[in-house]
Amino acid sequence: MFASLLGKLNTDALPKDLVTAGGAASMVFALLAIAGFLTYKRRWTWLYREWLTTSDPKKIGVMYIIVALIMLLRGLGDALMMRIQQATSVGAHQGFLDANHFQQVVSAHGTIMIFFVAMGLMFGLINWVVPLQLGSRDIAFPFLNATSFWLFAAGMALINLSLIVGEFSAAGWLAYPPLSELQYSPGVGVDYWIWALQIAGVGSLLSGINFFVTIIKMRAPGMSLMKMPMFCWSVLGTMSLVIFAFPILTATLGMLALDRTIGTHFFTSGGGGNAMMYVNLIWAWGHPEVYILVIPAFGVYSEIVATFSRKPLFGYKSMVGAIWGIVFLSFIVWLHHFFTMGAGADVNAFFGIMTMLISIPTGVKIFNWLFTMYRGRIQLTSPMYWFFGFIMLFTLGGVAGVILAIPPADFQLHNSLFLVAHFHTMIVAGVVFGYMAGLTYWFPKLFGFKLNEKLGKYAAVCWIGGFVLAFTPLYILGLMGATRRMDHYDASLGWQWLFIVAAFGVGLILLGVGFQILQFIVSIVLRDNHRDLTGDPWNGRTLEWSVSSPPPKYNFALIPKADKIDAFWAAKQDKSASKTPEYEDIYLPKNTPFSMIIAGFAFLVGFGITWHIWWLALASFVGIIASIAIRTSDEETEYRIPASEIKKMETAA
Partner 1 sequence: MNNREVMEERNEAKTLFGFWTYLMTDCVLFASLFATFAVLRHNTFGGPGGAELFNLPFVLAETLILLTSSFTCGLGMLYANRGFKNISLALFSVTFLLGASFLGLELHEFHKLAIEGNSWRRSGFLSAFFTLVGTHGAHISAGLIWMIVMITRVNLKGLTPRNLQRLKMLSMFWHFLDVVWIFIFSIVYLFGVI
Site of interaction with partner 1 (CB under 8 A): 140-141, 205, 208-210, 212-213, 216-218, 243-244, 246-248, 250-252, 254-255, 258-259, 262-266, 270-274, 277, 281, 284, 584-585, 587, 625, 629, 632-633, 635
* Residues ≥6 apart with Cβ < 8 Å to 163: 15, 20, 23, 24, 27
User: How many helices (H) and strands (E) in the chain?
Assistant: 23, 2
- Minimum distance from CB of 313 to partner 1 (Å)? 28
- Minimum distance from CB of 260 to partner 1 (Å)? 12
DSSP letters, 591-632, are P-SHHHHHHHHHHHHHHHHHTT-HHHHHHHHHHHHHHHHHHH
- Minimum distance from CB of 626 to partner 1 (Å)? 10
Closest CB to partner 1 among residues 103, 240: 240
18 CB neighbour count, 10 Å cutoff: 9
Give CA separation, 92 vs 276, 340, 501, in Å.
37, 33, 20
- Minimum distance from CB of 256 to partner 1 (Å)? 12
- Minimum distance from CB of 244 to partner 1 (Å)? 6
Residue 310 sits at the vertex; the CA angle it makes with 58 and 391, to the nearest 5 degrees, is: 75
Closest CB to partner 1 among residues 244, 350: 244
Closest CB to partner 1 among residues 113, 281: 281
Closest CB to partner 1 among residues 492, 633: 633
Closest CB to partner 1 among residues 237, 361: 237
- Minimum distance from CB of 459 to partner 1 (Å)? 38
Closest CB to partner 1 among residues 19, 182: 182
Cα 316 from chain centroid?
26
Residue 62 sits at the vertex; the CA angle it makes with 58 and 67, to the nearest 5 degrees, is: 150
Task: Give SS3 for 24.
Answer: helix
- The number of CA neighbours under 13 Å toward the Cβ of 111 is 31
Torsions phi, psi of 207, nearest 5?
-60, -40
Closest CB to partner 1 among residues 270, 344: 270
Closest CB to partner 1 among residues 209, 570: 209
- Minimum distance from CB of 248 to partner 1 (Å)? 5
Distance CA 534, CA 536 (A): 5
Q: Are 450 and 536 in contact (CB under 8 A)?
A: no
- Minimum distance from CB of 202 to partner 1 (Å)? 10
- Minimum distance from CB of 639 to partner 1 (Å)? 12
Of 327, 296, 318, 413, the residue nearest 363 (C-alpha):
318
- Minimum distance from CB of 272 to partner 1 (Å)? 3
Closest CB to partner 1 among residues 344, 576: 344
475 CB neighbour count, 10 Å cutoff: 21
Q: Are 116 and 49 in contact (CB under 8 A)?
A: no
Distance CA 330, CA 337 (A): 12
Distance CA 571, CA 522 (A): 35
Closest CB to partner 1 among residues 273, 389: 273
Closest CB to partner 1 among residues 277, 518: 277
Q: Are 588 and 639 in contact (CB under 8 A)?
A: yes
Of 366, 509, 515, 383, the residue nearest 441 (C-alpha):
383
- Minimum distance from CB of 242 to partner 1 (Å)? 9
